Amino acid sequence: MLAKRTTVPVTMRALIQRINRRLKADGEMLKTARGRAAFSVGQYYICNPQRNWIVKERVDPEALGRELGVLAAWERVEDGD
């Protein structure tokens, strides 16, 4: 009999906070675009607030979280806050 694989829910807000804590050392921040800006940079983007520029557009927070190691394999992202 195979063991049932269980996952733990993580909200998008919590994931963004984890990512921002990791990116802070580089002087970067993951932001959510609002209004018309979402059309040009995507829903999520990475910016450098000190230099006032966008580092990366159209970021997938779940993939970035796994890449940075802040989202474990047994965690899943939920959209609710």
pLDDT digits 0-9 by tens, 25-39: 999 999 999 999 999
Beta bridge partners of 62: none
Does 3 or 59 have the greater pLDDT score? 59
22 CB-near residues (< 8 Å, 6+ apart) = 68, 69, 70
How does strand 53-56 pair with strand 75-78? unpaired
In the predicted structure, residue 48 carries a pLDDT above the cut 70: yes
Would you state the pLDDT for residue 6? 87
In the predicted structure, residue 81 carries a pLDDT above the cut 60: no
Would you state the pLDDT for residue 11? 97
Average model confidence (pLDDT) across the chain:
93
Would you state the pLDDT for residue 79? 79
